Structure formats: C-alpha cells, structure tokens
Structure 1
Amino acid sequence: MAPSSGRRQPPSAEELDERNIVGINKETVTNTVSNDYPENYANEEHAWDKDAFRNSFKVQWHQNEQFEAQFSLVGVDASIANAFRRILIAEIPTLAIDIVYIHNNTSVIQDEVLAHRLGLIPFTGGKKGLREWMRFWRRPAEGEGAYDTTFDNNTVCLKLKAQCTHNKNAPANSKDPKELYHNAHLYAKDITFEPLGAQPKFFSGEDAIRPFNPDILIAKLRPHQEVDIEMHMHKGYGWDHAKWSPVATASYRLMPTITITQPILGDDARKFAGCFMDGVIGLEPVTRQEARQKGSGYEGHEGELKAVVKDPMRDTVSREALRHPEFEGKVKLGRRRDHFIFSIESTGQWDSDELFLEAVKTLKKKCQVLRPQVTNMVYTY
C-alpha cells in the first residue's frame, strides 16, 4: 500500500464560496478576516494572479443618473474599495468659495458664520473651464499684495448684495414675510457671477458659474437689514476642506447574502418576508414538480406559498429573521467580502460616473509613483 502523501484535497466550489462570506449571526459576526493570501491554507496557492483577477473582476452599474449613481465593484479587496472611496471624497479637485469680503452685514448672522455658509454652497459651470483652464490659486507670500497672485484663470468673482424693504403692495392680512417684505429670504440664486478677463469664453450661457441648487437658503432679512459681500472662488481638494469635496456622499456596503436552508411556507413565509425590506423576499406557489420531489421539503404542499430570495441587494441586514424561533436553522445571513455596492452623489461639477473614472485615474497615478520606489527598495536591499 502506497504511503499517504498527507496532501489535502483541493477545496470545493462550495467551500471557496463559504470562505468568501462574512457570517451574520444573531449577536455576532464571523469570518471577518481576509484569508485569500499565500500559506494561509496548507497546499493551496493564493498568490495574486493577474489572469485570475481579470476573470473575477467586474463593474456592474445599477443606477447611472447624471448626479447620482450606484454600481457594484466585484472581485477586489476592501483596501482597494476604500481607496476609491477616499479618493472620491478628498482627491478630485473642484471650485468653491474660498475668500469672502464682507463690506456690510447687518443681518442676525455673524460674519464668520455667514462666510462659512457661503463656502459650503456647491457650484457648477462649464466643464472645460473648470477642469482644463482653471488653475490653482497661490496665497500671497510675505510682501505680496492680496491681488498679486489673483488672475482670471485661478479666481472667480461672485457678489451678493441685497437690502430688505417693506412691500407696500402686500395683502393687508398677510403674515408671510415673503409677501410683507422684499428680499426677506436670501437664496443661492441671488449670488451673481461677474466674469473677468477670458472667463466669458469658458463660463457663459449654460456654462456660467452658478449654484448647483439655487434654492439653498443663505439668510433671512428684515427691514433695514442688508448684506454686501464679494466672494472669490478657488480650486482645491477635499483633503484641505470639505467644501472642495466633489461628492455629497461616497459610500459602499458589502453585498448581502440570504440563504434559505429549509422550506418556509404559508403564514411563516409571509412573516419571513416582513422581516426584510420590501422586494427582498418574494412569495411563490410551490410547483407540482417540487411537491413530487422526494426530500425537497415541499411534499404535499403544492400550490402553497413559499418564501424565496428575490433581490438580496435591497437587504439592510437587520437580523430580524434571526430573532424568531420559527425561522431558527432555516436561514443563513451573510455578506460577500469581495462585492462592494458603491453609492455616489455628485455636488454638481462632475457627473457621477465621471467621478469614478477620475478616481481610477488618480489611483493609477499613485501606483505609477509608488512602483519605482518599490523597485528601488528591492534592488537596494
């Protein structure tokens, strides 16, 4: 008899799939640590392979509107997904109000609070001008004047000037400030853009610099109150201040998995569906073929409603189903560790899908910078 080599049988597809699932239990979370690296499993090769990555990696779009998108990033490690998230938030440049000159402000809002509110208003404009023509502004060095570094290709000038007065034609019984006064409310749409130099070439007509949401409330005024403000917009990055972040939200979550291990029928099926968000669990009648199949668990239940997993992506992993004794041992919840569902909401200067492509370019540039450094380090040591 030949001696045993002691080699372990290659893992089955089911075992490999189980390794890739983060277990969601009633009160605990299991299998949270990555395990697909060399020497973690005896006699198994898990070194990174370009061809294997190419075959498993994919990007699947679920929603692709101009300023809001949702897509799945499948086949990557959490570190890569998080790198994209951080780049989306902090490393794609935009234009925002940076310097505020308050000539007059008699409203109830303090100068510094008003300046902060103005800085957080998202603006939009011609893409070519914003991305290709506009340059980064440099703060004046010691001995330089405030305008020595200010030019038409690095600064956009905005103005906000309004005074609240009584409306002589207001209805006699009205109590609405918008009817009683002129300029009772100041909105983002009241900010005016004053093009300078060559700016009309890039920012005119539909491409003019303007608030992305014109109905953002800036301040409330009452008679004899006024504001007279000049603002300078500069290009910047989100890592410097949140006002330069190109996204309102950029987040991801792991793809939920729901496995029904034993049949759930009738009233239990309806209750089971109620444990999840609408659309996650469906109710279908047991077919004649299922009812005749021995060992299926559906014998004698033809036509009765059964619970089936319809759309696990809608699930929020609430664990509600695990709290009911009638479902114990009948369902397994988890999350797939290499399937990330991204949500991107643009603030207006970039389309949502453009933001992801720009994040890919940025990460690629970082890798190009890092690669020679790693190569030199290897040869040095």
Structure 2
Amino acid sequence: MAPSQEELERRRIVGVHAEHVDNVSSTDFPHHYLGEDHSWDVDHFRNKLQVKFHKNKPFESVFSLVGIDAAVANAFRRILLAELPTLAIEDVFVFNNTSIIQDEVLCHRLGLIPLTGSLEGLRWMRWYKKPPPADDPAAQAAARASGEEFDSAASVPSDNNTVVMDLNVKCEWAPDGQKLAKQGERDPEKLYVNSSVYARQFQFVPQGNQEKYFAEPGQIRPVNPDVLIAKLRPGQEISLRCHCVKGIGADHAKFSPVATASYRLLPSITIKEPILGQDAKKFARCFPKGVIELVDDEATGEKKAVVKDTMKDTVSRECLRHDEFKDKVALGRYRDHFIFSVESTGQFESDALFLESVKALKAKCQRFKRNLADLMR
C-alpha cells in the first residue's frame, strides 16, 4: 500500500523540539519501510530536483536546492570552498621596499588580494607545481612515496602556467606640498604623490600567448581596485614583481573562489490550534519579523496568527519556551530543502560558481566510474 501524501510530508521533516531534535535520519532507501520500494531511480530524481533562485547578484546569490540528500548538498559546499581553481599571487620578488611594512607581511597581504580576468584564459592555463626543496630529504621521500614525478623543466614559469604582475610605486612631495606643509596642511593626499598604494596600481605584464587569452577587458587585475596595500611618505618606494598561478582552496584559502558558501534547511512551522488575540501578538514576537502574520479570524473577529514566510525564520525555538504555545505549534526543518548562500570573491559570478561545482562533481563521478571499471576487470 502506497503511503499517503501526509505521511510522505511527515517523513521529510526533521522535528525540532525544546531541547532535542528527532527524525534526523533519511529513510528513502530500499527495505526501510515494509512493502515500499525506494530504489534510486533517475527519472524520480529528475522529477523531484528543483533549483530556485531567491537572490542573484554578481557577488552574492541565494538559492534553494530541493530533492537531494544532505551528502550531495555538502559535496557541493565543499567543492565551492576548496576545489574550484582560481588565480592568486604565489611568488613575490621584492626589488625594493622602503615602506614601514616588512617584506614578509607585504607579500602576505598581496597574496590575499582576489584577482579576476578572462575565464577562458583561466581554463587555458595549466597547473604550476613547485618541486620539493632540493635540501629537504623528507619532502623528496614523500614525493617518491606518493608516486609523483617532479620534472624540473615542467616547473619553470611559462606563459601558460604563470601570470606576471608588477607593482612600482614611489612617494614624492606634491608640486606645492612643502609649501602647504609650512602652512599647516595635514592631508597626505594634498601633500604627497602616491601616499597610498592601492591594488589598482598593479600592472599586468602579458607573456607569450597571454595577450590573446587575457586581452581587454579580460586582463588580469584585482577584483577590488581600492584595496589599500601600504602607505608611503616621500622617499619611500615599493618595487616588486608577482607571479600568479592557478590553485584551489584545498591548497590555500587565497585560491578559494568564495568568501562564504553555506546552506541551511528550510524551516517548517505548523500551527496545530488557532492562536488568537493577545496570544497571537505574543506568538508573532517569538519569531523574526515577517515570519508570522496577523489576520482577522472570520469566526471570532480577533486577530489570528498564521505562517507567512518560513524562510525568514532562524529556528530559535523561542515560542517553545512559553507554556501557552507548546501544544499549539510544531517546529521542524525539511531534510531535502537546502537554502544555499554563496558569496563570490569576484573571479566567478556567484551563480556560475554553483554550475562549476556541478561540473566538478560530475567529473569526480566519471573518474570514479572509470576506476571502478578498471578494478573489476
């Protein structure tokens, strides 16, 4: 006998109570319910799967992913954080730095500046992998044990694995700066030239075929040109060259294409008995603004509490602290409705990041199938 729609809906909800949660395990797998076949079916999965965007901006998107298991949703989240390649500064060659910022601190600041450019060029670029240090026997032994072959020729920077950017800034007095200083002027923007070093002062130096793949307007540049790098005073200067390479967030956080990538389950609020009058107003105050709406009750003429928008709820369980509401409301979360929030650092637009994570997961599955087939031969 097929389960009713109410029963299917009940199975979707994780119960949230005052001090515990229940019904947390998935049950849609074979032989869990007697007489029900829950074998995985691609057509059933395709019909259940839904993607709904609630906010779609270049640097931030919010969307619902409905009809998947938590393991798949978490796989997307982890891929977004750690496995999508971007470009970042890896090596910094400091020719002259007379600012008050130490070389190592300056280089660290530069490495964390998000870069953007042509996506076609980024896909064209190959991976640049550093060989283990020649004077580190442990690293050499680890490389041999992992089966990795480090070809010194393959590790030489070239146009298809390294992007070069220069930063040359020198601070000087403004033409009338010394005169203004004698008059008591304190504003460094008026007294000096290049008193502040910004990310927009980086110069992209194309190498080889990079002129083709990173042509205007897709040249490599900082996402935010107004990032402050250092402050200088007359006589101080910064002269350096940066080598940018492709990497993933699993190697270093500077390669992660997202500032945040998280999800939460859609809240469920079920009012089992009418909540009227002053109780309705008190009930509405237990939730964030916009979750509960007060409407006129036709039978009594009083204000009645109804659920308006559960997406705005934070599941604080505040209503369960009040005895008058404990038996009138049931809280929960839908186990297969994930609300994703993705904030891009700028290399990709936020909605494209999710599509890239889908491609990455698909490639992983195909690779696993090939390895499994080889194993079964």
For 1:285 and 1:354, locate their aligned partners in 2 and report how far apart those are by CA, in whole Å: 44
Q: For 2:11 and 2:266, locate their aligned partners in 1 and report how far apart those are by CA, in whole Å.
A: 15
Give 3-state SS (helix, strand or coil) of 1:84's partner: helix
| Amino acid aligned to 1:155 | T
Taking a change above 3 Å as real, the CA distance of residues 369 and 144 of structure 1, as seen in their structure-2 partners, is closer
Runs of 4 or more consecutive aligned structure 1 residues displaced over 4 Å after TM superposition: 140-148
**Alignment partner of 2:125 out of 131, 134, 141:** 134
Look up the SS of the partner of 1:98 in the other structure: strand
Q: Are the structure 2 counterparts of residues 177 and 268 from structure 1 closer, same or farther at C-alpha, using a change threshold of 3 Å?
A: farther
Number of the residue aligned with 2:12: 20
- Unmatched 5+ residue regions in structure 2? 135-149
Amino acid at match of 1:82: N
Greater Cα offset, 74-83 or 163-172: 163-172
Shift of 1:47: 2.2
- The letter of the residue matching 1:139 is K
Match of 2:100 in 1: 108
Instruction: Specify which of 296, 315, 330 is matched with residue 328 of structure 2.
Output: 330
Pick from 338, 362, 365 the counterpart of residue 364 of structure 1: 362
Answer yes or no: is 1:68 the counterpart of 2:60: yes
Contact 2:96 2:240 in 1 (8 A): yes
Superposed CA RMSD in Å reads 2.5
Deviations 1:281-329 (A, max 9, x none): 2222223xxx1xxxxxxxxx22x32221111111111112222233221
Please state whether the residue corresponding to 1:364 is helix, strand or coil: helix
Deviates more, 1:218-227 or 1:340-349: 218-227
Contact 1:140 1:146 in 2 (8 A): no
1:56-90 deviations in whole A, cap 9, x for unaligned?
Answer: 11111112222321111111111101111111112
1:242 Cα deviation after fit: 1.2
Q: Which amino acid in structure 2 is aligned with residue 23 of structure 1?
A: G
Q: 2-side partners of 1:267 and 1:90: how far apart?
A: 50
Q: Which of 155, 159, 183 is equivalent to 2:162? A: 155
TM-score, normalised relative to structure 1: 0.86
Q: What SS class does the counterpart of residue 316 from structure 1 fall into?
A: coil
- 2:140 matched residue in structure 1: none
- Equivalent of 1:181 in 163, 169, 192: 192
AA at the equivalent of 1:368: Q
Rounded to whole Å, the distance in 1 between the matches of 2:87 and 2:171 is: 30
Q: Which moved more, 1:137-146 or 1:103-112?
A: 137-146
Q: C-alpha displacement at 1:145, in angstroms?
A: 8.2
TM-score by length of 2: 0.87
**Identity within the alignment, %:** 56
Matching of residue 198 in structure 1 with residue 209 in structure 2: yes
Which residue of structure 1 aligns with residue 141 of structure 2? none
Structure 1 residue 262 corresponds to structure 2 residue 269: no
Contact 2:130 2:155 in 1 (8 A): no
Question: Given that residues 128 and 155 in structure 2 are in contact (C-alpha distance below 8 angstroms), is that contact kept between their aligned partners in structure 1?
Answer: no
Q: Which amino acid aligns with 1:332?
A: A
Question: Offset of 1:10 from its aligned partner?
Answer: 4.5
- Partners of 2:245 and 2:346 in 1: how far apart? 16
Q: Could you list the runs of 5+ residues in structure 1 that have no partner in the other structure?
A: 1-8, 292-300
